[in-house]
Amino acid sequence: MPTVLYTEDEPSLVAVVSEHFERMAPDFSLEIATTGRDCLGRMRRGGIDVLLLDLRLPDIDGLHVLGELALRQDPTPVVMVSSLGQTELAVRALRAGAVECVDKSTPQFLHLVDLVRRVHARHRQPAAQLPAEPRSRHRILLLEKTAAVGAALRDFIRQSAPQLELTVVENPAPPAVLLAGPERNDAVIIGPHPPGAGALDLVRELHSLAPELPVLVLTAQGDAETAAAAFKLGAQDFLPFKPGYEAELVFSLGHILRQAEMARRNTRLTAELDALNRSLEAQVTARTQELAALSRRLIQVQEEERRAVAHELHDQLGQLLTGLTYQLERAADTEPVRGARQLAGELMQQLRDLTLRLRPKILDDLGLAAAVDWQVRRFRQQTGIAVEADLSLPAERLPAVIEITAFRLVQEALTNLARHSGATAAVVTIAAGPAHLIVEVGDRGRGFDVAEALAARRSLGLAGMRERVQFAGGQLEIFSRPGHGTRIHAELPLATPSP
């Protein structure tokens, strides 16, 4: 039976997760650890198939536990459990080796059992096998032509630092040859009597060939100028060659080897993060393009439905009302008949207005310029507001989604103007550039606080205009403040991808 270890110090969450596993995963065994140290102790005994690890624990956090398991080379898959606001820590956990991350403040946490099943299926391994302790043996190259110095240092390291493997090079050889062997060198020590070139020349050549390779310099001179020059050339440390130097040398090697390992790990993790970012960016770009295409398709479907409803109203209800009016005209001229005729005429006018609002046929037949000009003239007649139209459009038709978006934007802006602005005049400007169509509607009415209106969500018209423009791939800006009028400015891309 697979065993899951859940490390969590919150009793209520432990109870919920335990109940979920008991009810939904009776084929899994769930164990609980309440601290990071308890978790590490249980993991050392082995037999855990999946580890659920909370990021925040009372003694040591989940990242430290994850790091200790990595040092042990424990292959158990780890699912990090985060909370609201811990996104950055969760990303660090994934970079450090966690296979999944789940936020316990989201509905995803309710599907924790399914997530554990998927993780266990991907990382199935013998549960009884204890993880192997890490083997940290480093290969060190010593460039020293004096055999006694090399032998003495080799004996000291063999007895005091068995994790280091020292290879002594006594004969002159170019650094490129020294580094070309089949095994990787983890660090280089330049002895007090280096073979061939001087110590500083060797540092320079080694750093040019392998900048990431740590270099430590031993010198009998011990002066500050040589130390400074060695550091500038790329050496990681500089020690005087004097009695008792061996212990300090081993300590220094341990320090620079840890730094080099951290640098390599950071480089690897950075490369992995860059690759992940590129992959995520590509996925986001693809999803954004899909969403944009879907949005344009939604606009197209909506407009097609409006057009169909308008045709239905015109062709069927319009004909019925026309027939009714004709029959009333032939009826006797009585007071009830005259009232019915008037009512039929009003119904006919309202039906005509509704049909035009749904989808003006002129937009389909003659294009944006004619439709906007018609809308402005009709608006002037209905409201008495002096609206001027300044249109600069090409002779050829624009993409359908752009024409529809621009017309609806003008229509909604004029409606808002009549209802709220109190203005007596306005200007509608539409101009086509090389890549964008500019649409502006401005007035000198009473104005309003844009941020307050959008935050309060009391203006569905503003939100609708913004959504429609964004769906078409454009940008909308609203400039207004109390007492200074309003200007609606939109930029719509003319090269619109097909839905």
Of 73, 89, 122, which closes a domain?
122
For residue 197, tell me if it sits in a domain: yes
Average pLDDT value for residue range 99-125? 83
Q: Position 341: which residue type?
A: R
pLDDT of residue 458: 56
Strand 50-54 versus strand 100-103 pairing type: unpaired
For residue 291, tell me if it sits in a domain: no
Of 242, 265, 281, which closes a domain?
242
Rounded to an integer, what distance in angstroms lies between the CA atom of residue 34 and that of residue 56?
A: 11
pLDDT of residue 355: 66
Same domain, yes or no: 110 and 144: no
Average pLDDT value for residue range 92-103? 74
Give the residue among 209, 254, 258, 252 at the shortest CA–CA distance from 234: 209
For residue 307, tell me if it sits in a domain: no
What order do you get walking across the sheet with 237-240 strand by strand?
164-169, 138-143, 187-190, 215-219, 237-240
Structure tokens at 23: 């009810």
Residue 182: φ, ψ to 5°: -70, -25
Rounded to an integer, what distance in angstroms lies between the CA atom of residue 349 and that of residue 408?
A: 22
Strand 436-443 versus strand 486-493 pairing type: antiparallel
Full 3-state SS string of 8-62: CCCHHHHHHHHHHHHHHCCCCEEEEECCHHHHHHHHHHCCCCEEEEECCCCCCCH
For residue 425, tell me if it sits in a domain: yes
pLDDT of residue 499: 42
3-class secondary-structure state, position 153: helix
Same domain, yes or no: 152 and 112: no
3-class secondary-structure state, position 425: strand
pLDDT of residue 126: 46
First to last CA, the chain: 51
Same domain, yes or no: 147 and 116: no
Give the residue among 351, 360, 333, 430 at the shortest CA–CA distance from 391: 430
Same domain, yes or no: 179 and 218: yes
For residue 358, tell me if it sits in a domain: no
For residue 129, tell me if it sits in a domain: no
Give the residue among 146, 246, 231, 152 at the shortest CA–CA distance from 195: 146
pLDDT of residue 392: 93
Instruction: Report pLDDT digits (tens) over 184-215.
Output: 888 999 998 988 878 888 999 988 888 889 99
Which CATH number does the domain housing residue 11 bear? 3.40.50.2300
For residue 318, tell me if it sits in a domain: no
Give yes or no for residue 98 having a pLDDT over 90: no
Rounded to an integer, what distance in angstroms lies between the CA atom of residue 401 and that of residue 393?
A: 16
% of the chain with per-residue pLDDT over 90: 26
Point out the least confidently predicted range of 142-156, 267-281, 407-421, 449-463. Answer: 449-463
45 pairs with which residues across the strands? Answer: none
Same domain, yes or no: 407 and 470: yes
Same domain, yes or no: 67 and 145: no
Same domain, yes or no: 178 and 104: no
Rounded to an integer, what distance in angstroms lies between the CA atom of residue 102 and that of residue 186?
A: 38
For residue 296, tell me if it sits in a domain: no
Same domain, yes or no: 108 and 148: no
Full 3-state SS string of 347-372: HHHHHHHHHHHHCCHHHHHHCHHHHH
Q: Is the dihedral of CA 276, 279, 284, 287 positive or negative?
A: negative
Q: What is the DSSP string of 380-417?
A: HHHH--EEEEEEE--SSPPPHHHHHHHHHHHHHHHHHI
Instruction: Report pLDDT digits (tens) over 169-188.
Output: 998 888 888 887 777 888 99
Same domain, yes or no: 115 and 143: no
Same domain, yes or no: 54 and 84: yes
What element of type H or E holds 483? none
The model's confidence at residue 88, banded by pLDDT at 50, 70 and 90, is: low
Which stretch, 51-55, 136-140, 195-199, 282-286, has highest mean pLDDT?
51-55
Structure tokens at 363: 């937009």
**What average pLDDT is seen over the chain?**
82
Contact criterion met (CB below 8 Å) for 60 and 37: yes
Same domain, yes or no: 488 and 395: yes
pTM (whole model) above 0.75: no
The total domain count for the chain is 3
% of the chain with per-residue pLDDT over 70: 86
Same domain, yes or no: 147 and 115: no
Which CATH number does the domain housing residue 412 bear? 3.30.565.10
The model's confidence at residue 234, banded by pLDDT at 50, 70 and 90, is: confident
Domain that holds residue 393: 368-493
Of 223, 242, 261, which closes a domain?
242
Full 3-state SS string of 372-387: HHHHHHHHHHHHCCEE
Give yes or no for residue 387 having a pLDDT over 90: yes
Point out the least confidently predicted range of 196-210, 243-257, 364-378. Answer: 243-257
Instruction: Report pLDDT digits (tens) over 291-335.
Output: 767 766 776 676 677 666 766 666 667 667 777 777 777 777 788
Rounded to the nearest 5 degrees, what angle is found at the Cα of 279, between the Cα atoms of 275 and 285?
Answer: 145
CA 377 to chain centroid, in Å, comes to 47
Average pLDDT value for residue range 380-396? 92
